[in-house]
Structure 1
């Protein structure tokens, strides 16, 4: 960046040390009706209507024709007849320029020479980005020249007289400055493209659109598109500037809306920026319709409003502690100064001057450099965030490995415990059954003690089964194998296995269900087992199987004591048991396994109190239409 600034400084000094151009004395006559001719404006009454001006002329966005009278006789530097002089007319985007040079041999005593951006480069008086007329020595002695201007853009006109050698020397520095300007813009664009963040961050895409829009517009506005890109197709360069201005303004509104964090939290600002952005896009057809003069004035006014609102917004962000807001203030201040000077000149409120005309170009460069620094900070913040996320991901991965190791150790322990305990439990249960057969049946206390031992054995076996099922359900690679099950037969077998045939009232309203048979048997078995444990003696358990839209619903109703609202949110958690369960056997895993099985199927389970007491548990499993048997 420092090298660019040093080169710009050197070029600026070189340009300042070069011989300055002469400025002819000028006066202007506005022809709103397009009725004037060279002969008519030379009449004494029309000559009196010419208005002199000291600096460049600015007629704003107007459809009028402007006639200029250039007085050369009083310019001291023009006295050398043998010098070759050039008349430079800026800016480059003027459509139709006609210079009338004194020539006794021509009709009316003047020869017409045409210029403007609608002429191909090889047909212009001088091969240059703007219009340059060659002045023959005899034209300098006549004292006055006339220039006619008619353009579809802003009627700005700055005229300068150069010696040919001085002009060529000054333009070398000028093109060098242009090269640095566009090289800097292109470097910023390539750096942002190289980062690749535009693929996932729309702020970077907006910055690329804005920087690209500025570069393309300036190529047209500076006449470089017509000179170097398509010199034989002047209409491309002509419309390049007009369409490029709207695209640049629209992309600028889009970028600043994002970088200033203007969204739903700032509704009126959001509406203003969107209105400005879409207004510029809606103005795109106006050049083709011949309405650019009216549209351009509106576009410049909207842009000045947008920059003013952005300045206020950036100050607000700075007060709120936003680090980047200071640079955004600088960016908007530079844009405001440049756009305000250029905008007022384009609108005809300030006289035309190259510094004013190029004010927007200078301001936009300073603005884009400040915004580029904001984007650099954003890149660094994203890199820090990425590193933090990587560290967190490594931490999560390490913690996951630790948990998996602990889970594997727990599963191995439970498997070992189940294998080592079940054999002696089976021996105990078999021994107790033998003792029951040999015991004296006239002593009920002996039988009662035998039954208590067998219930304890069954309880330990049930606990082991629950632990094994729970560990299996928590395995990350567990896959279900659903198939169509015939509901009536499936539930009858399940009720018999649970020894609840005399307590369950079965109601089947759907013929089949699409589910994993083993896991579904575990889930329904746990629901029926819970209902049997907590229901009052002699109270029936209701099992309803229905289809509710796209769901298979298994509803288990009991007439137990119910569950209070304070415990309902926790009953499906692992190892959770409702306090006050008394001597009811349980491991706190049954309902947890029901929930896991429902989740594995893509379903859900819920519980709610019943009217009149008891609970209603609903197991919902998806019922796929495309898999009908």
Structure 2
């Protein structure tokens, strides 16, 4: 897709009016326009004039032969109209033709030769104009034949018009005003998009500005303005400006349209084609120096036409999906594609040449600029709304997180206060119970049982407070694991000893080395919770089995009991905070949650393994440090 030059409605109307009315009026003096068939490029004007039957008449004073290196001979039969002056002007378009030779019959016989083309300095032209103008002098009565020889490396496209000088000047002025308005609007679009980009920093505006600028370069080169105003003394540079402009516009198109078309994996072919539009032009530009631009230009035109068709199909899909700006985008591409298609088919020689078709890209810019602006604006507005919503959600999340942090701080203060206020009384109660047991002695079994119940209750309250404090500490963000070498044999022995009399039910098995790098305090809390859970749910005197083994690059601690077991559907819920098993046994429902939390802080995991014989088996696996393997 080569870039279109955005054209506002008034400029389009003026240009279209000029092309339709003035063109037909000027062309009326050419009564016949024909092309020589069977030319091999070696003919002279004398040999051509001697074979009038070999000229094939065309419907209009224009030739469209596509990309070819052939030499074309044309014959124009010109007749005066009433009131015409002795001198008329023959206009030849487009301005990017390389070599044009006009042969005019002389009164004494023979032909005079005059040359033009973009390979001659602009000062060599008979009349300074962006196109080519020749002064001709038809006879007062009847008509006479002019011969044109055309040879160009770009598309072989030619239009001829004969003007009265007095009619040409106002037409050229109107054309200049229309083009001035046209390029003024292009500059306005370019500057406004750069301002929008600088303001909102969205790359879509920058890509569109580059696309508009590259298209303006192409259109000014095709229209002869680059040669006339920028490179009048450098015909070689001006000759390559059209090809360079087409390559630049193709490159800009490959950058801009993937953004506005929002291409995904399903449109990988179109995305690849746009990438080729970016990659190919730098290599194709080499043909401007090697003399192979004709072939490269032909291939690139066909490729761009295919990209345009697929881009319209993608725009239809965006329109159906209700994408913001999809309607504007679709109609923008449809209007652009209409003008572009007529231009491409004319350039390739598939449609008869008319100035309307040649300027189809510009005429297709009728709504392209405004609609594309609307599409971009709608897209950026939608992105901005999404960004604002995301910022609002982030602010709400931050506020919620702040509230949660404040609640956690209040909870931590409360637990700290509770620990401080209850530890003292609990210690007093525990000490008093022990004193009463010593005073009462072993004579009264009922009194002994009551002392034991009081002591157990004090222990449960103390353990509950300890678990709540551990939960509060471990559930905070940024908990630091203080790693150091840990001997699991010693850690297991110390934890089992804390279980008192119930620890006699615990059997410990060690397979191999039992060392790793971790936080010994946290690991002891995890193992204590597993043992307490097993002792609580497994009826006495059922044994509790602890197994420590190395499995590959990790250490596994298993705690198995002979209790009622756990249903598979409830296994994961047991590791959630404040979730307890289906029993009336006391507890806060935090033990297993803390086990998993400690495991994950070490980069490991805690799970419930399947047990065929019944009961439950909890597995705590931890990664080994490099120095402990």
Match of 2:191 among 176, 187, 193: 187
Give yes or no for contact 1:576–1:588 (8 Å, CA) kept in 2: yes
Structure 2 distance, partners of 1:193, 1:140, is 62
Residue 470 of structure 1 corresponds to 471
Residue 566 of structure 1 corresponds to 569
Structure 2 distance, partners of 1:403, 1:534, is 34
Match of 1:518 among 511, 521, 525: 521
Flag the 1:17–1:241 CA change in 2: closer, same or farther, 3 A.
closer
Structure 1 distance, partners of 2:20, 2:372, is 30
Offset from partner CA, 1:243-265 (integer Å, 9 cap, x none):
5435645764775566455544x
The CA deviation at 1:31 is 5.4
Give yes or no for contact 2:254–2:278 (8 Å, CA) kept in 1: no
Residue 3 of structure 2 corresponds to none
Name whichever of 595-604 and 427-436 sits farther off. Answer: 595-604
SS in structure 1 at match of 2:619? strand
Name whichever of 382-391 and 118-127 sits farther off. Answer: 118-127
Residue 619 of structure 2 corresponds to 618
Instruction: Say whether residues 1:88 and 2:91 are aligned partners.
Output: yes
Residue 273 of structure 1 corresponds to 270
Instruction: Say whether residues 1:66 and 2:72 are aligned partners.
Output: yes
Structure 1 distance, partners of 2:314, 2:14, is 37
Give the structure, 1 or 2, with the largest relative contact order (CA under 8 Å, sep 6 or more): 2
The CA deviation at 1:363 is 1.1
Match of 1:169 among 163, 170, 173: 173
Residue 38 of structure 1 corresponds to 45
Superposition map of 1:347-386 within 5 A: 347-364=348-365, 366-386=367-387
Instruction: Say whether residues 1:98 and 2:101 are aligned partners.
Output: yes
Name whichever of 408-417 and 12-21 sits farther off. Answer: 12-21
SS in structure 1 at match of 2:26? coil
Instruction: Say whether residues 1:415 and 2:410 are aligned partners.
Output: no
Residue 135 of structure 2 corresponds to 135
The CA deviation at 1:503 is 1.4
Residue 340 of structure 2 corresponds to 339
SS in structure 2 at match of 1:400? helix
The CA deviation at 1:331 is 1.5
Flag the 1:97–1:505 CA change in 2: closer, same or farther, 3 A.
same
Structure 2 gap segments, 5+ residues each: 1-6
Structure 2 distance, partners of 1:258, 1:181, is 24
Match of 1:576 among 556, 565, 579: 579
The CA deviation at 1:353 is 1.9
The CA deviation at 1:224 is 3.5
> How does the TM-score come out when normalised to structure 1?
0.84
Flag the 1:394–1:511 CA change in 2: closer, same or farther, 3 A.
same
Name whichever of 302-311 and 424-433 sits farther off. Answer: 302-311
> How does the TM-score come out when normalised to structure 2?
0.84
Structure 1 distance, partners of 2:344, 2:15, is 27
SS in structure 2 at match of 1:481? coil
- What is the aligned length? 609
Instruction: Say whether residues 1:503 and 2:506 are aligned partners.
Output: yes
Structure 2 distance, partners of 1:527, 1:229, is 86
The CA deviation at 1:609 is 1.9
Structure 1 gap segments, 5+ residues each: none
Flag the 1:7–1:369 CA change in 2: closer, same or farther, 3 A.
closer
